[in-house]
Each structure stands twice: as C-alpha cells, then as structure tokens.
Amino acid sequence: MTSTRRTVLLRSSWATVNIGDVAHSPGVVRAFQRFAPEVEVILWPVRLEERERSMLRHTFPGLRVVDGTLGGDGPSTPELAAAIDGADVLMHGSGADAFQSTEIDWWREHVGRPYGYFGVTVDPLCPPTMATLPELTQMVDLLPPSYLKDDVKDRFDSADFVYCRETLTLATLRGQKITGPDLAFGPDGTFAFDHTDAVAAARLLEEFGLQPGRFACFVPRLRYAPYAKIYGTEPTREQMRRDAINRATVTHDLAVLAAAIETWVRVSGLPAVVVPEMSYAVELAHEQLPSLLSPQTLGQVQILDRYWPLEEATGVYAVSSLVVSMECHSPIMAARHAIPTIYLRQPTETTKSQMFADLGAPDLVVELDHRAAATVVAAVTDIATDPAPAVARSRRVAANADDRLRAAVQACVAGRPIGLPAPVETGDA
C-alpha cells in the first residue's frame, strides 16, 4: 500500500428503477476524472441492467466494471478477486444509507486496506418519522450518543473517511461519538454527473413540439416508493403501512405540483412536460395529475409515457427553463446545468434534503406543509418572470458542490485527512 492511492474500488449502483440512484456511480467516477485523473476507479455494482451498462460504456469507455459477490468463500468471480487484490481503497458510494455491511466487514477481516464512505446519508429518524427539516435537525440534536447500533458505529469508526452528503448526517455521526475517520460534509456524487444525450433529448422535444429553453419539467412522487409493486413482490407489513400513507396523501401532495404547473403555464405562456425520476411515476402521473389540472392548462401539458434513461433526462433538463421536482436528484441534475429548479420536499423524506441548504440554497426547498401551494406559486412566478436569480442559485449550488467534491476526492486519494471547506453559510437555521 503506497501513501498515494492509485486504484479505488467503488461499491455502488444500488438500483436501476430510479435515475437518481443510477446517477450516483457515474457521478463519483466523473468526480475522480475531474479532480484526480491519475486514479483508476473500478466500479463494483450491486445492480446494473443493460441500459445502464450501455450508458457507462458510452460515457466512460475505459471504465472497468466488475461483477460478483462476497461470501464465506470470498469473491464469487475471478474479476472481483482481481479487483480486490489490486485496489488501494474500498469506497462505499453515494446513497441513502451505509448499505454494504457484508462487504465492509469482509474487507476489514481479509484485506485490511483502507475503506470509506463517499457522500452517504445516515438518517436515524426517517422513514418512520414525518417531519420538516428544522424538526429533523432538532430531533438529531436530541438523540442520545448510544442510539446507533454498536456494529454500525464500529464500521464508521474504523473507516478512513466518512463524507456525509448533508450536515444532518454529519451531526448524527458526531453526536454518536464517531471520531476515527476523516468525518466531513462531502456531497452526493450525482452533483458531478454532467453527461447528456443531446440526440435523445432533441427527439423528445420534437415528439412533444417543444423548443429549447421554452418549457418546464415537473417530476411527481409518492411519499414512499412502492417497491413491492415495482419489483412484483409480496408487500411486507411496513410496505402496507407506507402504501396506506401514499393513498391518503397523494392528492394533497400532487395538488402542490399541479399548482406549480398551472402557474408556469399561466405566467410564462409556455408548455410543461411531466417526467419520471422513478419508474412507477409514469403510471402515477397519468392516473393522478390530469384530474388536478384545469382543462386550459392540461392542453399545454405533456406526460411522458415511459421511464426514460438518465442521460436523456439530463439532456432534456439541460435545455429546459425550469425543473420542479418532488424527487431529490432531478434538482441536482438541473443545477449541474445552471437550470432554475425547485425541490418540493415531502415530510417523509430523509435528511438528504438538507444538502441544498448546505450548498448555499435553502430557498430551493419548499416543504409540503399547509403553505406549500402558495410558496411554490410565488417561486414559479418569480422564475417565469425573471429567471436570472434562480440561474445564479443553480450555478452557486453546482460550484459549491464542486469545491466539496474536489476536496473529498483529493482527501481520499492522498490517504490522509485534508481540511474540507466549511459548509456554506446561508444565514438560515
């Protein structure tokens, strides 16, 4: 093991039914290409379909992707065994939690080389808890230091680095007395993903009769992703509970998105297109949104009838006027391309929503509370009337994310703590 790490084994690619999840891996790879081009990143995916593999081959022709699992007998494939043997560091990629306990434990026992976490959320409160971000902040502060399980704390404490994708995760781990790793705020890898499929985007615009820079995108969501329905499995009791919450709140929540669509069409005079971040949102949009829109507005709205690829989505976002999303990653993709964006945060969302405030844009987030419709109407009106401040906000978010990602990549490669810049001061609690 040299003092400078030349090969990073990236354990990532958690799911393909969410283009936000799909973006994590290529985002981290792109961050290393930009900020440490001398380092080889080997992707070890959990789940990749051919569509995503094709995108990776096209975007990163030289990227090594190794498949396989770890069990009692070690790596299940020769390619994984070779990748583990040659890697200087194991990196857990960006995601909603520290998923890979089996892999981390095996690495610690059998390899013994450094490992760490790059842009992860550790939310001790959600999804069971419904709360606003200020409420989650207070709850995190009130958790006792013994809250996390001992094995979870041990994995974090033994890591070389833990870069949290928002400061509420950072506060959680500090409150749990995690002191071993280089512990800091380091953003979601999706912020670095800048690849677009301009050809596919142009086809979609032609299909819908849209002009670049003269339409807005709107992304619907349920409070909980219906994974049992997505994967065709028998629902658990917890999934039944979540489904009941979804059914009770879907009209209320989508009415706020509908208010944003109505406002955009009325104020700008331009069309809207409803698009999915998750696969189930195609059916959701077609079944629920038309009845929430006036006939006049509905005539100016297109609803995409398929689950689109990540690079087509970023291609369309990059030539839109505005992206209003109930999902967290579409605003990241929009900000990457300096497109005005608004994130409608549902009360079941995790602490990951804090990332926008951490990057200097707390006003990008609209909580879906009793004031949400009025707030989003005002925000969309402002952007439709004068988009320049929202463009500047997106540029600021992307630039601040780049600063953090650069520091995190360099710290990982150097194999020693490098002082990450302080979280952006916003003046907001």
- Domains of the chain from N-terminus onward: 7-192+401-414 (3.40.50.2000), 198-397 (3.40.50.2000)
Q: Is 324 exposed, middle or buried (0-12, 13-18, 19+ CB in 10 A)?
A: buried
Bridge partners of residue 40, in order along the sequence? 7
Amino acid at 379: A
Residue 263: pLDDT over 90? yes
What is the rounded average pLDDT of the residues 1-24? 86
3-state secondary structure 389-408: HHHHHHHHHHHHHHHHHHHH
CA–CA dist 366, 242 (Å, integer): 22
Q: Assign 420 a pLDDT band (cuts: 50, 70, 90).
A: low
Closest of 400, 411, 344, 335 to residue 372, by C-alpha? 344
- Classify the phi-psi angles of 22: left when phi > 0, otherwise alpha if psi is within -120 to 50, otherwise beta: alpha
For 21, the enclosing helix (H) or strand (E) is helix 19-35
Cα 135 off chain centre by: 21
Q: Which residues contact 377 (CB under 8 A, 6 or more apart)?
A: 259, 260, 263
Give whole-number Cα distances, 247 to 41, 163, 226, 353, in Å: 42, 36, 11, 23
CA–CA dist 376, 324 (Å, integer): 9
End-to-end CA distance of the chain: 43
Cα 279 off chain centre by: 15
What is the rounded average pLDDT of the residues 262-276? 99
As a whole number of Å, the CA-based R_g of the chain is: 21
As a dihedral over the C-alpha atoms of residue 262, residue 264, residue 269, residue 275, rounded to 10 degrees, the angle is -90
pLDDT value, residue 99: 72
Q: State pTM to two decimals.
A: 0.94
Q: Assign 414 a pLDDT band (cuts: 50, 70, 90).
A: confident
Which tens digits make up the pLDDT trace of 126-153? 767 899 999 999 999 999 999 999 999 9
Residue 417: pLDDT over 80? no
pLDDT value, residue 71: 81
Give whole-number Cα distances, 326 to 104, 117, 352, in Å: 33, 26, 13
Residue 33: pLDDT over 60? yes
Indicate the range of 139-143, 248-252, 341-345, 423-427 predicted with least confidence. 423-427
Backbone angles phi, psi at 128, to 5 degrees: -60, -30
For 424, the enclosing helix (H) or strand (E) is none
CA–CA dist 105, 111 (Å, integer): 10
Give whole-number Cα distances, 115 to 30, 121, 174, 263, in Å: 20, 17, 19, 48
pLDDT value, residue 339: 99
Which tens digits make up the pLDDT trace of 292-325? 999 999 999 999 999 999 999 999 999 999 999 9
- What DSSP line would sit under 187-241, residue for residue? --GGGG-----HHHHHHHHHHHT--TTS-EEEE---SS--HHHHHT-PPPHHHHH
CA–CA dist 172, 184 (Å, integer): 12
% of the chain exceeding 90 in pLDDT: 88
